[in-house]
Amino acid sequence: MSLTLEQVHRIAHLARIEVSESEALSTQGHLNGIFQLIEQMQAVDTQGVEPMAHAQDLGQRLRADVVSETDRRAAFQAIAPEVEAGLYLVPKVIE
Amino acid sequence: MINASLKQLSQALAARQISSVELTQLFLDRINRFNPTLNAFITVDAEKSLAAARAADARIAAGNAGLLTGIPIAQKDIFCAEGWRTTCGSKMLANFVSPYDATVIRKMEAEAGLVSLGKTNMDEFAMGSSNETSFFGPVRNPWDTERVPGGSSGGSAAAVAARLAPAATGTDTGGSIRQPAALCNLTGLKPTYGVVSRYGMIAFASSLDQAGPMAASAEDCALLLNSMVGFDERDSTSLERPAEDYCRDLEKPLAGLRIGLPKEFFGEGCDPEVMAAVRAAIAEYEKLGATTVEVSLPNSHLSVPAYYVIAPAEASSNLSRFDGVRYGFRAEDYANLDDMYMKSRAQGFGAEVKRRIMIGAYVLSHGYYDAYYLQAQRIRRLIANDFVEAFKSCDVIMGPTSPSTAFKLGEKAADPVQMYLSDIYTIAVNLAGLPGMSVPCGLVGGLPVGLQLVGNYFAEAQLLNVAHRYQQATDWHQRRPAGLE
């Protein structure tokens, strides 16, 4: 398998990472090297093998539906790039 | 005091031979002297450390100190610590001051009374095996400053090896405790997945990440592990288990111990001199009464390929939170919301992190999920099953931690695949979720070699016993790099 430059741009967009044309070229080389390594997996017959998502076969734990955290809004907003009146500011998305 | 064990430091503090403030100042002075060369710490805050030391001294004076109260420790900069800058080695978090404590930090500092000396350097978001991907520059190996300390817990390893701290924390997703421990002559332990809480430990690959201690001996690691473990309702994969004392079996004789030697770890691909040191360590174990048996991990050669699907897939999801909105870096100029995300992430992440996010985005994308992600998870099962089979005929598995001693700075930095292969012996252990250790077992050309021990699930106390008895019979773990007196 080999990624085209167009695919590299598509993946970068999926990941929301801006890449320049020259970055895309070097990324393409590196990613293809990595995928060459990954390709070794394709030769393995895994029919009937249950995928293993996790080291421990655990179900999701549930907790009682009660308030367990204190309000720390001010502390959390103090580290945000831009806030106003208790709101996180981002560029306008709705005209 | 610089080279004292944690037990000795504990006794000195209890006997009032030294105060925690004096001890903390002693190590802060060493950080001042040697950190400009080694770059092991990203953040040091003497005022904060000394305030914690004063609180520890008060606890000791009041008679409610624990065994570790007042002992200084270095914390990997992946753990959120309230009021401390917590960067994870990234420009993305270069100015992030955490508003809360990770559970590991809370347990070690608030409960056990350990005193933080600062936050140690690391590969960006723990993605690397040499500490060269850090936004804050590479860490240098105290054994040879032209060489890497390993990664991703390279700052922790260098700090302890140079005795800028008596011990440190690390995290291990594919070898990030064991490989730097091997390259810097430390004892490091990655516990069974789920034993140490991941709450507040900045996530890389959530099904693999596990925190553990890095120190000068197995005994020190056992004491630290006691302070780190425990069920945490804030970590959805934290395990509810009865408490255990990891020091309890340290002195147990090794007579009758069955050591499994996977033939795949003793073939080609390892430096012959490293292999000779590992074989000499195994011969030492035979003298201590252990027997060896050949075992097989037939799918272990697939661990690096499977890992480089699973870990990036989880990373691409975990790192989607860094969008320049609620915390972290935001680009200066952007045209709209999407452009703000794209530019903030392009400028905030380094090249290796971007590569892994992109691999993850690709293997999870429509049309590729089955061929890559599910196939990797099936291979993960085969790898885990190999260990189950191997542990039917042995108690502990041994082999090299790393295929070579510390390599030169820059030697592998340009070729991601070469870098990935430096974790060839450690990654399978993370995929299976087993506990693993690295123990110093020799020097080759003046550089440390690590012996890897792999135990069955929850066999940490046994691994520590196996490591400790070896350290009673040998002195490799007491060797220190020169020029740091």
**Exposure pattern of B35-62 as b/e (b: 16+ CB <10 Å)?**
beebbbbbbbbeebbbebbbbbbebbee
Q: Are residues B366 and B403 both part of a single domain?
A: no
The answer for B 225-254 residues in CB contact with A (under 8 A) is 233, 236-237, 239
Nearest-CA residue of chain A relative to B379? A46
Q: Is B5 helix (H, G, I), strand (E, B) or coil?
A: coil
Q: Are residues B129 and B39 both part of a single domain?
A: yes
Chain A residues whose beta carbon lies within 8 Å of the beta carbon of residue B377: 51-53
Amino acid residing at B190: K
Q: How confident is the model at residue A68 (pLDDT cuts 50, 70, 90)?
A: confident
Neighbours of B414 (CB within 10 A): 9
Q: How confident is the model at residue B73 (pLDDT cuts 50, 70, 90)?
A: very high
Q: Are residues B22 and B137 both part of a single domain?
A: yes
Q: Are residues B115 and B198 both part of a single domain?
A: yes
Residue A27 lies in a domain: yes
Residue A77 lies in a domain: no
Residue B389 lies in a domain: no
List, in sequence order, every residue forming a beta bridge with B398; answer none if it has no partner.
B453
Chain A residues whose beta carbon lies within 8 Å of the beta carbon of residue B332: none
Rounded to whole angstroms, the Cα distance separating B350 from B332 reads: 17
Rounded to whole angstroms, the Cα distance separating B301 from B378 reads: 14
Q: Are residues B123 and B184 both part of a single domain?
A: yes
The answer for B 388-447 residues in CB contact with A (under 8 A) is 415-417, 420, 431-434
Which strand ranges, in their side-by-side order, compose the sheet holding B447-455? B41-43, B115-120, B72-76, B168-172, B210-215, B187-190, B436-444, B447-455, B396-400, B258-262, B291-295
Give me the pLDDT at residue A95, please: 74
Give me the pLDDT at residue B379, please: 98
Residue B72 lies in a domain: yes
Of B378, B407, B425, the one marking the end of a domain is B378
Structural tokens at position B485: 């007196």
Rounded to whole angstroms, the Cα distance separating B466 from B460 reads: 10
Write the burial class of residue B383 (CB in 10 Å: 0-12 exposed, 13-18 middle, 19+ buried).
Answer: buried
Query: What's the domain range around A37?
Result: 5-43
Give me the pLDDT at residue B110, please: 96
Q: Are residues B69 and B121 both part of a single domain?
A: yes
Q: How confident is the model at residue A60 (pLDDT cuts 50, 70, 90)?
A: confident
Q: Are residues B368 and B409 both part of a single domain?
A: no
Quote the mean pLDDT of chain B. 97
Q: Are residues B402 and B366 both part of a single domain?
A: no
Residue A62 has pLDDT above 90, yes or no: no
Q: How many angstroms away from the CA of B341 is the closest CA of chain A?
A: 6
Average pLDDT, integer, range A39-53: 95
Give me the pLDDT at residue B267, please: 86
Half-sphere exposure of B134 (CA within 13 A, CB side): 32
Average pLDDT, integer, range B240-266: 97
Q: How confident is the model at residue B37 (pLDDT cuts 50, 70, 90)?
A: very high
Query: Into how many domains does chain A fold?
Result: 1
Q: Is B422 helix (H, G, I), strand (E, B) or coil?
A: helix
Query: Into how many domains does chain B fold?
Result: 2
Give the torsion through C-alpha atoms of B152, B157, B159, B160, to 10 deg: 160
Neighbours of B201 (CB within 10 A): 25
Residue B289 lies in a domain: no
Rounded to whole angstroms, the Cα distance separating B441 from B148 reads: 19
Q: Are residues B348 and B431 both part of a single domain?
A: no
Residue A16 lies in a domain: yes
Residue A57 has pLDDT above 80, yes or no: no
Q: ipTM of the predicted structure?
A: 0.96
Interface contact A91-B337, CB threshold 8 A:
yes
Residues 6+ apart with CB under 8 A from B349: A17, B90, B91, B92, B124, B319, B322, B357
Residues 6+ apart with CB under 8 A from B65: B13, B14, B56, B59, B113
Query: What's the domain range around B412?
Result: 6-256+395-478
Rounded to whole angstroms, the Cα distance separating B480 from B484 reads: 9
Q: How confident is the model at residue B61 (pLDDT cuts 50, 70, 90)?
A: very high
The residue among B307, B298, B436 whose CA lies nearest residue B372 is B307
Q: Are residues B88 and B159 both part of a single domain?
A: yes
Residue A1 has pLDDT above 80, yes or no: no
Residue B249 has pLDDT above 80, yes or no: yes
For the stretch B167-207, pLDDT in tens is 999 999 999 999 999 999 999 999 999 999 999 999 999 99
Residue A39 lies in a domain: yes
Query: Structure pTM?
Result: 0.97
Residue A58 has pLDDT above 80, yes or no: no
Residue A71 lies in a domain: no
Residue B274 lies in a domain: no
Q: Are residues B252 and B320 both part of a single domain?
A: no
CATH number at residue A20: 1.10.20
Residue B417 lies in a domain: yes
Residue B231 has pLDDT above 90, yes or no: yes
Interface contact A17-B357, CB threshold 8 A:
yes
- Mutant choice from A1, A3, A14, A16 vs B, greatest count of B C-beta within 10 A: A16
* Residue % of chain B over a pLDDT of 70: 100
Rounded to whole angstroms, the Cα distance separating B152 from B128 reads: 5
Average pLDDT, integer, range B359-385: 95
Q: Is B368 helix (H, G, I), strand (E, B) or coil?
A: coil
Q: How confident is the model at residue B377 (pLDDT cuts 50, 70, 90)?
A: very high
Average pLDDT, integer, range B296-316: 97
Residue A13 lies in a domain: yes
Catalogue the active-site residues of B.
76, 152, 176
Chain B residues whose beta carbon lies within 8 Å of the beta carbon of residue A40: 301-302, 305
For the stretch B88-110, pLDDT in tens is 999 999 999 999 999 999 999 99
Q: Are residues B158 and B212 both part of a single domain?
A: yes
Confirm if B120 and B76 have CB atoms less than 8 A apart.
yes
DSSP state, residue B423: G
Chain B residues whose beta carbon lies within 8 Å of the beta carbon of residue A31: 355, 358-359, 362
Q: How confident is the model at residue B428 (pLDDT cuts 50, 70, 90)?
A: very high
For the stretch B453-478, pLDDT in tens is 999 999 999 999 999 999 999 999 99
